[in-house]
Structure 1
Amino acid sequence: MAAEADFLLRYRAVSNKLKKRFLRKPNVAEASEQFGQLAKELKQEECLQYAGFCNLAVARCEQTLFNAAGEALALTDAARLFLQAEKETQRLQCPGFEEHLQAATNCYSFAIKVYIELNQPVMAASLCLELGNALKEMNKPGEACVYYHRAAELQSQVPIECLLSLGKVASCKIIMCAFVDVIARCEVCRVLLLMLLQPPPQKLLPEHAQTLEKYDWESFDSHSQVNNLPESVFLLLQSVVMACQEKDLESLKVLQVELWPLLTPEQNHLLHLVLQEVVSPSGRGV
């Protein structure tokens, strides 16, 4: 807490020097140097996020001085400090909203933009890759994929480097497919559980109603709303929903045979329970 209070006092003291006064221009270069020195001290004390804020202040000063290269460098330093702070938070398993990661991403994005404006695509691409690698390491392949793809675009004049970045894009997409499989399994289980419980309309939660609407035969292009499921599974599941609504036991038996090899053991057990419920309703949804 003492370190935080000291940081705020010193930060405000330097910031006050930037305020315009009558017949006196603020010394922006001096303020930039002082913010930079404060950032170094805070980094040594492992107050990473505060050091990041100081580097952001340096970047704003350099922007005022029309020093784009200095601005990009300060933004990059800030991004790396925020990223390091996020990694430390995750290592300690502290609760949070990934605010340091968001700050890091914003700083990287601004630095990339500045390097592009400076006509330095190589530097911009290297930062895209740096952020992409960090996001992938944090188990965020979807977000990493965006920056790898951006790096490949910036490396269009360097074919080998561009191919390497596209390889990273492909790697993320492979990982993301595993996530899609998990989502698909959850979708099937959710539908089967709703068929098993059969909650009355007045007790049906809005999100559950939206799920069932996707399997309505009259819904326009329903499969596009559940594109994480193979079309064959979707169509069979759609038929299960209709058969349950009609209490059509014979159709359900046929559908069970067709779905059996496509479902997990847990899902097949749920489908078996659905059939039993149609044969002998237990009033679970009441």
Structure 2
Amino acid sequence: MSTDLSASFDEQRFMRKPNVSEATNEFIGLAIQCEHSEQPSFAGQTYIGAAKCEALAGNHLGEAEQYLAAARQFIKAEAKLLALKFYSPDRENLEAAIGCYLQALSKYPDKSPIRTSVLMELANNLVSLNHKLEAVTYYEEALETVNDSTMKLLYMRNLLNLLIDCGKYDNALQLANKIFDSNNHIPDGILTEIQVSRILLTLLVKPDEGTKIESLKQLFNDLMNDTESEAIPFNIDLKLKLQSIIICSTIGDLQSLIGVAPDTKSYLTSQQADLLHALYSEQKDYNFVHS
């Protein structure tokens, strides 16, 4: 009798549905062990297992959390390879990380602020791994989800600097113009930064006079005519140096441009210093070709 009951009990255990919660916890426990033993790629794979268990249980937010945990481990694995100077042509870890981030994103509502933070995390990780051009897409997507005006301004400023880093000067100028034209209350420090970038980008891009937007024409007009304007909160020294850069660039005076550059750099961000160097290099190449 007891044997029959024991057999029946074992049969019930065998036939019952697996406990998804137990399986999830086992996957997570194994992932943590992999993390502690410095095996981030294996940890990532195991977190994916946990995510699939959460999906089976219908726990979409839990699924998203596990995909995010997996993504972070794959990013860690990619960073580890990069630090060791190993490069994977098929980008296994990086592609796995991006895939997990996108899986997590698909579980959140379109207007969820969590989407913004996930997109920015993905973009920032791509920047740290020197995939800046790829990061641009996710920065732009993140911007579309931001409603707060202060946060939007800061994200647009970050994207502007990223575009400059990528050498996308035309796109950077368009965005800088958009930042200025779409914000009525930009703090003076950020306004100065945006306006200096617009000046340097314009000198590099050289847009046709007919295609320049009105505020860009006004910026150059006010600056070169020493017109007092809230749109150019520059101190006297910076204003004089910018005027010199514009004149040197316009007339092709390379030596004067070289002379003014060192003293100007103390006012510039690293991206603006790169723009000034690009301006100098372009002028040098032009002079060489026409010498």
TM score, norm. by length of structure 2: 0.52
| Matching of residue 35 in structure 1 with residue 32 in structure 2 | no
Alignment of 1:70-219 (within 5 A): 70-97=62-89, 98-116=91-109, 121-156=112-147, 158-177=148-167
Could you give the per-residue CA deviations for residues 133-184 of structure 1, whole angstroms, max 9, x where no partner exists? 111122222211111111111112x22112221222211111122799xxxx
Asked if the contact 2:163/2:169 (under 8 Å) is kept, the reply is no
Which letter maps to 1:139? N
Q: Secondary structure at the match of 1:126?
A: helix
What is aligned with 2:285? 264
Give me the whole-angstrom Cα distance separating, in 1, the residues matched to 2:29 and 2:18.
Answer: 18
Give me the whole-angstrom Cα distance separating, in 2, the residues matched to 1:266 and 1:86.
Answer: 43
What is aligned with 1:240? none
* Alpha-carbon offset, residue 95 of structure 1: 3.3
List gaps (5 residues or longer) in structure 2: 1-12, 171-204, 209-281
Give me the whole-angstrom Cα distance separating, in 2, the residues matched to 1:125 and 1:38.
Answer: 30
From the superposition, tell whether residues 175 and 155 of structure 1 become closer, same or farther in structure 2 (CA, over 3 Å): same
Give me the whole-angstrom Cα distance separating, in 2, the residues matched to 1:70 and 1:27.
Answer: 16
Give me the whole-angstrom Cα distance separating, in 1, the residues matched to 2:165 and 2:28.
Answer: 40
Q: Secondary structure at the match of 1:25?
A: coil
* Alpha-carbon offset, residue 93 of structure 1: 0.8
From the superposition, tell whether residues 109 and 122 of structure 1 become closer, same or farther in structure 2 (CA, over 3 Å): same
* Alpha-carbon offset, residue 106 of structure 1: 1.0
TM score, norm. by length of structure 1: 0.53
After superposing the two structures, state which structure 1 stretch, 82-91 or 96-105, moved more. Answer: 96-105
Give me the whole-angstrom Cα distance separating, in 2, the residues matched to 1:135 and 1:166.
Answer: 17
Asked if the contact 2:44/2:71 (under 8 Å) is kept, the reply is yes
Q: Secondary structure at the match of 1:264?
A: helix
Give me the whole-angstrom Cα distance separating, in 1, the residues matched to 2:39 and 2:142.
Answer: 31
Give me the whole-angstrom Cα distance separating, in 1, the residues matched to 2:169 and 2:103.
Answer: 30
From the superposition, tell whether residues 133 and 39 of structure 1 become closer, same or farther in structure 2 (CA, over 3 Å): same
What is aligned with 1:6? none
Asked if the contact 1:49/1:85 (under 8 Å) is kept, the reply is yes
From the superposition, tell whether residues 135 and 266 of structure 1 become closer, same or farther in structure 2 (CA, over 3 Å): farther
Q: Secondary structure at the match of 1:116?
A: coil
Q: Secondary structure at the match of 2:103?
A: helix
From the superposition, tell whether residues 23 and 150 of structure 1 become closer, same or farther in structure 2 (CA, over 3 Å): same
Which letter maps to 1:65? A
Q: Secondary structure at the match of 2:106?
A: helix
Give 1:50's match in structure 2, choosing from 42, 48, 53. Answer: 42
Give me the whole-angstrom Cα distance separating, in 2, the residues matched to 1:179 and 1:96.
Answer: 30
Q: Secondary structure at the match of 1:139?
A: coil
From the superposition, tell whether residues 266 and 104 of structure 1 become closer, same or farther in structure 2 (CA, over 3 Å): farther
